[in-house]
A = this chain, B = another copy of it.
Amino acid sequence: MSTKEFFKVSSLESVLKHLRAFPQIGSETIPVEESLGRILAEEIVSDIDIPDFNRSTVDGYAVQARSTFGASESSPAMFNVTGKIEMGEPARISVKAGEAVKIPTGGMLPDGADSVVMLEHAELLDDHTIEVYKSAFPLQHVIEIGEDLRKGECILSRGQPIRPQEMGVLAAIGKSDVPVFKKPIVAIISTGDEIVDIRNVPSLGQLRDVNAYTLSGQVKRVGGVPTYLGIGRDNFEELFRMCKQALNNADIVLVSGGSSVGARDFTMEAINALSRSEILVHGISISPGKPTIIARIGRKAFFGLPGHITSAMIVFMKTVQPLIERIGGLSEKYIGKKREVTAILSRNIASVQGRTDFVRVNLVHDEGRSVAQPLLGKSGLIRTMVKADGLIEIDINSEGLDKGSVVTVELF
């Protein structure tokens, strides 16, 4: 009895449910300089107020706002200039009614002052006297203590990706070493007796390994670390040996290629021979990408991806990618967040109910609108993936999309 008969094809939804059960991997500490794109492993709380002094946002004069009330071009307010604030130093002076202290942008407001009059709104009459031509209000041109970040405040969350501005916030509070989730390690094994290393010249009947390179680019792009274990022959012993090796270090194992029935059987055999293994999915109701095998091996995930390049890439995007994100610590609300654009479909596309179709499209701009042009073609060709800008999805319950429909394009 073939192994196939034990399994029925899973919907993408049920596949994702299986993948939610895999545990997050651990964390590590890295310098903030290297944290771009990493996922925070701890909530970050500020241990200081920022700023921790009232700070001027302009070049001008620190004053008591009420001393300026009613000032205008025709009736300026007169101030006694009693000193000057030096950048980066505590204000060692205090300001009383009718007094002004010169202050640079970023300078610390002296005691007594609650507002800054811009240079442009004052005129120096002599070394010690200015006239102010405009009424100032309290806290004008001032960043108050704790106005940016408040001591004790949770400023960043666990599971949040670090963008340039989050690097800035971490720097601001002196968090030079940042706790982040480790990057998931993804082992990539290519299989197929016809596949040769890209540095070799293929003989007749052979092809260079393509999938390992495409997949490793995809792994990197979503924050994983690809490790390429090379090309295995289509037999049980070699596949089993390579899978065991992969499981020593990797969090996820991708086996790609082996599209023939025999090769898929070897994959099933290898999984079954690994200890603590359980096959979760054997076939997904998506096109392309149906002949996909997903298993759990202990706490690790195993994917037998289709050999056809387009199928492998799409299955990666729809299953491996959210898994890498999840075990890599990304919060639920960020998972599967894609780069998307909306566009108008250029032609009808037929689809079959009962499976989710993913159609490659390229985008052209026509009279200010984005138009998505389907790229049809065999899923074994990489040409269409290179021409394509993205994917559109046709729902499992849909019989197709009409020309002119508004579609969401997930960009590659």
Contact = CB atoms under 8 A, between A and B. Distances in A.
Interface string A274-307: 0000000000000000000000000000000001
Q: Report, as a range, how many residues of chain A touch the other chain.
A: 35 or more
Given A106-B259, A380-B143, A193 B88 contact: yes
A211 B168 contact: yes
Contact of A194 (B88, B165, B171, B205): B88
A47 to B, nearest CB: 10
B215 A164 contact: yes
Contacts of A212: 171
A53 interface: yes
Most chain B Cβ neighbours within 10 Å, of A51, A172, A202: A172
A128 B193 CA distance: 25
Interface string A190-208: 0011110011111111111
Given A204-B90, A382-B148, A165 B313 contact: yes
Given A88-B194, A148-B381, A168 B220 contact: no
Contact of A208 (B147, B172, B193, B203): B172
A295 B391 CA distance: 42
A192 B143 CA distance: 17
Contacts of A266: none
Nearest to A170: B213
A43 interface: no
A395 interface: no
Given A171-B210, A204-B52, A59 B261 contact: yes
A239 interface: no
Q: Is the interface of A mostly helix, strand, loop or mixed?
A: loop
Nearest to A109: B205
Given A105-B260, A174-B198, A174-B201, A213 B52 contact: no
Given A165-B313, A176-B199, A198-B176, A108 B381 contact: no
A147 to B, nearest CB: 7
7 contacts: A32-B198, A32-B213, A147-B378, A164-B216, A164-B221, A164-B412, A172-B208
Interface of A: 32-33, 36-37, 50-53, 55, 57, 59, 86-91, 104-108, 119, 143, 147-149, 155-156, 162-176, 192-195, 198-218, 220-221, 228, 234, 259-262, 307-309, 313, 339-342, 378, 380-383, 385-386, 388, 412
